[in-house]
Amino acid sequence: MTMSADAINQARSLGSITGGPVIGGLEVPDAWVTDTSKLLTPDGRQLSDAAFNECLNNAPKTGATGRFGDTAVCLGKLDLHVDLVSQPNQRFWPFQWIELALYLGLSALLAAVGLWRIQRRVS
């Protein structure tokens, strides 16, 4: 996904607690985003912390509006992108049911092993 200034302004978070070049809360229409890469340069390498922090802390004043304003414009000029992993929205509930079945199955197995061990020790 190309990171234009508009796309960056639509994200929910920018940067990490360690100051790393990450962006969070990106949305894809009719999809459930499960993973987002760090900000990547046009050649696929991770954006350097120095370049990211330069835009974050010393973005040229353009008068841009939006959640991240001038920072989004500065980062947008770097021609960045991110790799997204997503699933179509219609897969959300089937995944939830599969996960529930796995947890219930593992719980039943653990309970059965526990009961078997207790009965074996008692007799």
The pTM score is: 0.71
Backbone φ and ψ for 32, nearest 5 degrees, come out as -110, 105
Percent of the chain scoring above 90 in pLDDT: 76
Report pLDDT for 72.
Answer: 92
In a domain? residue 44: yes
Pairing outcome for strands 23-24 and 13-14: antiparallel
Q: What is the pLDDT of residues 41-92, one digit of tens each?
A: 999 999 999 999 999 888 889 888 888 999 999 999 999 999 999 999 999 9
In a domain? residue 84: yes
Report pLDDT for 65.
Answer: 86
Report pLDDT for 98.
Answer: 98
In a domain? residue 111: no
**Angle of the 49-58 helix axis to the 69-76 helix axis, nearest 10:** 140
In a domain? residue 103: no
Q: Which 3-state string (H, E, C) describes the chain?
A: CEECHHHHHHCCEECCCCCCCCEECCCCCCEEEEEECCCECCCCCECCHHHHHHHHHHCCCCCCCCCCHHHHHHHHCCCEECCEEEEEHHHHHHHHHHHHHHHHHHHHHHHHHHHHHHHHHHC
Report pLDDT for 17.
Answer: 78
Yes or no: say if 22 and 16 are a contact pair by the CB < 8 Å rule: yes
Report pLDDT for 16.
Answer: 80
Report pLDDT for 104.
Answer: 98
In a domain? residue 14: yes
**Which range (15-29, 30-44, 64-78) has the least confidence?**
15-29
In a domain? residue 99: no
**Which range (13-22, 23-32, 56-65, 92-101) has the least confidence?**
13-22
Angle 31-41-16 (CA atoms, 0-180°, nearest 5)?
65
**The tokens of 29 are what?**
């229409």
Total domains in the fold of the chain: 1
Report pLDDT for 56.
Answer: 87
- Domain assignment of residue 70, given as a range: 2-89
In a domain? residue 52: yes
In a domain? residue 100: no
